[in-house]
Amino acid sequence: MQRPHDSLRSSALRKMLAVCAAVAVCLLLALGTWQVVRLQWKLDLIAKVDTRVHATPVAVPEPAQWAQVNAANDEYRHVTLTGVYLPEYTTRVQATTDLGSGYWLLTPLCLQSGHIVIVNRGYIGQDAAKRLPAPAATSAGKAVCATVADHAPVTINGLLRLPETGRAFLRHNDPANNRWYARDVAAIGKARGFDASMVAPFFVDAGKDQEPPLADEALRPVGGLTVISFTNNHLVYALTWYALAAMAAGAFIWVARDDKRRKRQHD
C-alpha cells in the first residue's frame, strides 16, 4: 500500500517533470523559430548580393563615405574606379582556386584624390609568382601617390569586398617575412608604410579581363574568380529543433499516460 508521503513525493516529481518538459519544448520551439527567422534573413541577403553583383557598376565609395561601408549594404557591390597602380607595392596573398594553388596579387591603386584602394588584380600560379619582383623594401610614405600623378590611369570594374581577418587556415599573416594568408588591407597598408587614413577599409576584386595582354601570359593575373558562397543550413537546423521539441513533447505525453495507466491499475 502506497504511503501518503510517497504519494505526495510522486505528485511533486510529476509536476517538476512536467515543468521541465514544458520549458524544454518551449526552448526547442524558440530555437527552431529563430532558425526560420535566420533563414529568411539569409535568403534576403543572398537575393540582395545577387542583385548587386549583376547590377550596372557604380562609382567606388568616396573617402568621406568609407566609415559607412558595411557588409549588409556594400559587400559584393559592383563598382568601378579609376587611378594609377603602384605595382612595386604589390602583395602576394596565398590562394587556392579552381585554377590551382597560387597567389592573389593585391596592388594599391592611387585615386585622383591621393587616397588608395587596394585592388585584387587576380590569381597567378606559384611558378609564375616566383618570377615577380619582391615588394619594395622602403616605406611608401604619405605622398606616395604624388610620385605617379603624371602616369596614365586605368579604370577597373570589380566587386567591393570587406577585408579578411589576419588569420586563415590556422595561419597568421607574417608581414615581417612577407607571408600573407588573408586579405587584411589594414595590415597590408601598414606593412607598406601607407598612411592608415589614406587607405580604403575595403578592397576590390577586379573582374575578368581587366589586365592588358602580356608577352608571358603566365604573369598576367586572372581576375573574375570571386567565389560568392553563403552557408545556408538554417532550414536543417530549424527542422532539427522542431523535431527535438516534438520528441520531448511526445516522450512526456507517453510517460504521463503510462503513469495514469499504472495508477488506475494500482487503484
What local confidence, expressed as pLDDT, does residue 11 receive? Answer: 64
- For the cut 90, the answer to whether the pLDDT of residue 102 exceeds it is yes
- In sign, the C-alpha dihedral spanning 53, 118, 221, 228 is negative
Q: Quote the DSSP letter at residue 135.
A: P
Q: Residue 91: is its pLDDT beyond 90? A: yes
Highest mean predicted confidence (pLDDT) among 9-23, 38-52, 86-100, 129-143: 86-100
3-class DSSP state for residue 187? helix
Mean pLDDT over the full length of the chain: 85
- How far is the first Cα of the chain from the last one, in angstroms, to the nearest whole number? 10
Q: Has residue 82 got a pLDDT over 90?
A: yes
Cell of 194: 601607407
Whole-model pTM over 0.75: no
pLDDT at 25: 86
Percent of the chain past pLDDT 70, that is, above it, reads 87
Rounded to an integer, what distance in angstroms lies between the CA atom of residue 8 and that of residue 250? 25
Q: Pick from 203, 207, 244: which is nearest to 223 by CA?
A: 207
In this structure, the number of other CB atoms found within 10 A of the CB of residue 51 comes to 12
Residue 54: the pLDDT is: 78
| 102 strand-pairing partners | 95, 125
The domain ranges of the chain are 4-49+231-266, 77-219
**Per-residue confidence at 200, pLDDT binned at 50, 70, 90?**
very high
pLDDT at 142 over 80: no
> What is the residue type of 126?
Q
pLDDT digits (tens, 9 = 90+) for 10-55: 667 667 777 888 888 898 889 889 888 888 877 776 777 777 777 8
pLDDT tens track for 158-173: 999 999 875 555 678 9
**Per-residue pLDDT at 108 exceeds 90:** yes
Closest CA to 81 of 66, 102, 103: 66
| Interatomic CA distance for residues 74 and 138, integer angstroms | 33
The DSSP H or E segment spanning 74 is: helix 71-74
Q: Supply the pLDDT for residue 186.
A: 93
C-alpha 159/C-alpha 74 separation (Å) is: 9
Residues 167-195 have pLDDT tens digits of: 555 678 988 888 999 999 999 999 998 99
Q: Which residue has the cell 589614406?
A: 198
Closest to 171 (Cα-Cα) out of 163, 182, 162: 182
